[in-house]
Amino acid sequence: MRTLFAYCMLSPRRTAYVLVALLAAGIAEGLSLTALLPLLSIAVGDSASSDMGRHIAEVLQNIGISPTIGAMLLIIVGGMILKSLILLMANRQVGYAVAHVATVLRLELIDALLASRWQYYLRQPMGSLANSVATEAYRAANGFEHSVTVLALAVQVVVYGTVAMFVSWEATLTSILVGIIMMQVLHQLIRATRKAGTRQTHLLRNLLTYLSDVLVSVKSLKAMARDNVAEAILRDQTQQLEKATRREIIAREALMALQEPILATLMAIGLYLALEIWGLSLPSVMVMVFLLTRLLSLLNKTQRKYQNLMAQESAYWALRTAVAEARAAAERTSGTREPTLEKGISLRHVNFDYDTRPIFQDLTLEIPVRSFTTIAGPSGVGKSTMLDLLCGLVDPKSGEILVDGVPMRDINPRAWRRMIGYVAQENVLLHDSILNNILVGAPELTEADAERALRQAGAWEFVSGLPEGLYTIVGERGGLLSGGQRQRIAIARALAHRPLFLVLDEPTSALDPESERLVCETLRNLTQELTVVAVSHQPALINAADVIFALSKGKAERVQPAEAARYAPAERDTPPLSHREAVFVSR
């Protein structure tokens, strides 16, 4: 009931349209069946054999149509066409509404996720999100269709029941009582369906989460011949899913199979009681049988649709929970001031921790504008975290970050980030062309912007040498390019929109010395127009910087290149695995 109500509230207007459409379809079906035989008998000149036939013949006479064979056949064909048209419109309305509900649910989740805090987003398994957007939204939307159908059938039951009351209230009340008893007897199967549906939702989520982790790491797994372990787990999960699907199927089919025999048995008992024990007349019993059958078939149909709804409802609630959680973790949007970057960025007495793990204590530093600042420090000290603080992706627990003297919390975070060009440590490219990887859908950017950015990133030479140039497809996660080429395309992406603040996390870790020299030169030249902050252990980037900070024990100290060189790659620990790669070592 809660699900039924929730679905109706999701889009009350559409629910009403679909309800009307389904009722119209029901009426059209019912009328066509009821009127077909009388029309045929009128057509063959036998209108007096039934009440309905006489009534139809009268109506035709009144509107001036003589009941000839030709006229009757024309009416039958016309009626069929009209019925088909009504069904087409009704089914179209239902289909459109289902597609709309799926879209609404998908967009709600996507919007909520993209508006959530970075920390929350990091903890969401990618496969689970993909599953929510694809499978759960689809199942949930089908649930919407079933719920409106249940409503439409319930309306039909009420209407039919009310009409039947005037014919025989005893028969109608008996039918309702018998229907309720039947529903109760078979309710166990509805419960089993709901349980199987919930299990499927849970298993599908796990399966897709695990599968996406495996696919991200498939190269290293194959190289170490460990893919069979993943395969065994995936096989087991898939088989469990099959079991849950089987349970749902058996519960559904059992309901179908049991409804008719139970109905027939109850009918037989009723007929025996009426004819043999109470001695009622056959015509009055036949009326009761007719009412009973119609009403109970409608109730049975309603229960079957309700069962379908129960199979899908868990997908709907799983999706709703995901949206609610993402919304609860929404980013702060309190800052309204438009940012400027004319003077500099200051971190004052900043404290930051990940839950219980302290990262910065009383961190204070100044980043001058139009300069090149490098942040060095041992692995795991918090360099990437500092970039996250600068971008406003995470907030300090205490202390302040000031941009041109304005506290970051007062600044509109999206406006601030629009001023930033960001190059991440792990550069994941889209499976698309180089051009689209640089423009990433920004309508204001052109091919000329991409070319300029590629030149700035020292990548134009290799891109223009490719047979398809900017239109070369980079493959899954950029896998058709070398690590260095991917890195330069990521730098070009960060420069395409002419940012004022360029933030780079290990931007040259995959470059050869010559490419690294070119990128350092580019970054130095860029400081005429913008402020550059790079995290790096590479001597070339450290030497190219105007300002170097070494992070250690939660604090920052301004140092000279020679001191920072202590963090050169030879001394570097194995970098920590990102959360997305926690299961396997990625390529």
Ligand X SMILES: Nc1ncnc2c1ncn2[C@@H]1O[C@H](COP(=O)(O)OP(=O)(O)OP(=O)(O)O)[C@@H](O)[C@H]1O
Q: Which of residues 172 and 384 has its CB atom nearest to ligand X in the complex?
A: 384
Q: Which of residues 42 and 359 has its CB atom nearest to ligand X in the complex?
A: 359
- How many positions of this chain bind ligand X (CB under 6 A)? 16
Q: How far apart are CA 139 and CA 106, in angstroms?
A: 12
By CB under 6 A, the residues from 421 to 450 that bind ligand X are: 425
CB of 381 to ligand X, least distance (A): 4
Q: How far apart are CA 459 and CA 511, in angstroms?
A: 11
Residue 426 in tokens? 């792990």
CB of 516 to ligand X, least distance (A): 17
Q: Which of residues 117 and 348 has its CB atom nearest to ligand X in the complex?
A: 117
Which residues of 263-356 form beta strands (DSSP E)?
A: 344-354
Q: Which of residues 302 and 427 has its CB atom nearest to ligand X in the complex?
A: 427
Q: Is 122 one of the binding residues for ligand X (CB under 6 A)?
A: yes
Which residues of 312-409 form beta strands (DSSP E)?
A: 344-354, 357-368, 372-376, 398-403, 406-407
Which of 116, 300, 385, 487 forms a contact with ligand X (CB under 6 A)? Answer: 385
CB of 120 to ligand X, least distance (A): 10
Residue-wise over 364-401: b if at least 16 C-beta within 10 A, else e?
A: ebbbebbebbbbbbbeebbbbbbbbbbbbbbbbeebeb
Which part of the chain contacts ligand X (CB under 6 A), choosing from 254-262, 289-297, 331-339, 380-388?
A: 380-388
The candidate with the shortest Cα–Cα distance to 19, out of 130, 150, 215, 142, is 150
Which of 88, 354, 525, 546 forms a contact with ligand X (CB under 6 A)? Answer: 354
Residue 30 identity (one-letter amino acid): G
The two beta strands, 420-423 and 531-535, are: unpaired
Residue 576 in tokens? 């920590």
Q: Which of residues 543 and 552 has its CB atom nearest to ligand X in the complex?
A: 552
Q: Provide DSSP, 562-581.
A: HHHGGGSGGGPPPPPPPGGG
By CB under 6 A, the residues from 289 to 328 that bind ligand X are: none
CB of 125 to ligand X, least distance (A): 14
How far is Cα of residue 213 from the mean position of the Cα atoms in its chain?
18
Which of 142, 201, 384, 536 forms a contact with ligand X (CB under 6 A)? Answer: 384
C-beta of residue 183 within 8 angstroms of C-beta of residue 154? no
Which part of the chain contacts ligand X (CB under 6 A), choosing from 28-36, 88-96, 376-384, 495-503?
A: 376-384
Which part of the chain contacts ligand X (CB under 6 A), choosing from 31-39, 101-109, 382-390, 429-437?
A: 382-390
Which part of the chain contacts ligand X (CB under 6 A), choosing from 167-175, 185-193, 196-204, 352-360?
A: 352-360
Q: Which of residues 368 and 575 has its CB atom nearest to ligand X in the complex?
A: 575
Q: Which of residues 469 and 554 has its CB atom nearest to ligand X in the complex?
A: 554
Residue 326, beta-bridge partner list: none
Which part of the chain contacts ligand X (CB under 6 A), choosing from 23-31, 47-55, 378-386, 467-475?
A: 378-386
Q: Which of residues 54 and 117 has its CB atom nearest to ligand X in the complex?
A: 117
Which of 341, 381, 533, 559 forms a contact with ligand X (CB under 6 A)? Answer: 381
Q: Is 154 one of the binding residues for ligand X (CB under 6 A)?
A: no
Q: How far apart are CA 392 and CA 418, in angstroms?
A: 12
Task: Specify the DSSP class assigned to residue 48.
Answer: G
Task: Express the helix, strand and coil content of the chain in percent, nearest 5 each.
Answer: 65, 10, 20
Residue 224 in tokens? 């170490």
Q: Which of residues 316 and 549 has its CB atom nearest to ligand X in the complex?
A: 549
CB of 425 to ligand X, least distance (A): 6
Q: Number of helices (H) and strands (E), helices first, in the chain? A: 20, 10
Length of the chain, in residues? 587
Distances (CA, A) of 366 to 276, 375, 416, 582: 100, 12, 18, 34
Structural element, H or E, at residue 79: helix 69-114
Which of 575, 580, 583, 586 forms a contact with ligand X (CB under 6 A)? Answer: 575
Which of 379, 446, 464, 560 forms a contact with ligand X (CB under 6 A)? Answer: 379
Q: Is 206 one of the binding residues for ligand X (CB under 6 A)?
A: no
Q: How far apart are CA 490 and CA 515, in angstroms?
A: 14
Q: Which of residues 194 and 383 has its CB atom nearest to ligand X in the complex?
A: 383
Q: Is 380 one of the binding residues for ligand X (CB under 6 A)?
A: yes
Which of 407, 475, 483, 576 forms a contact with ligand X (CB under 6 A)? Answer: 576
Q: Which of residues 393 and 403 has its CB atom nearest to ligand X in the complex?
A: 393
Residue 254 in tokens? 């059992």
Q: How far apart are CA 248 and CA 250, in angstroms?
A: 6
Q: Let me know the angle formed at the C-alpha of 357 by 501 and 428, rounded to the nearest 5 degrees.
A: 45
Task: Specify the DSSP class assigned to residue 187.
Answer: H
Which of 359, 365, 439, 495 forms a contact with ligand X (CB under 6 A)? Answer: 359
CB of 295 to ligand X, least distance (A): 60
C-beta of residue 456 within 8 angstroms of C-beta of residue 495? yes
CB of 353 to ligand X, least distance (A): 9
Task: Provide the 3-class DSSP secondary structure of residue 351.
Answer: strand
Q: Is 109 one of the binding residues for ligand X (CB under 6 A)?
A: no
Which of 146, 205, 383, 477 forms a contact with ligand X (CB under 6 A)? Answer: 383
Which of 38, 161, 335, 382 forms a contact with ligand X (CB under 6 A)? Answer: 382
C-beta of residue 309 within 8 angstroms of C-beta of residue 146? yes
Residue 435 in tokens? 């051009």
Q: Which residues in this chain contact ligand X in the complex, by CB under 6 A?
A: 119, 122, 354, 357, 359, 377, 379-385, 425, 575-576
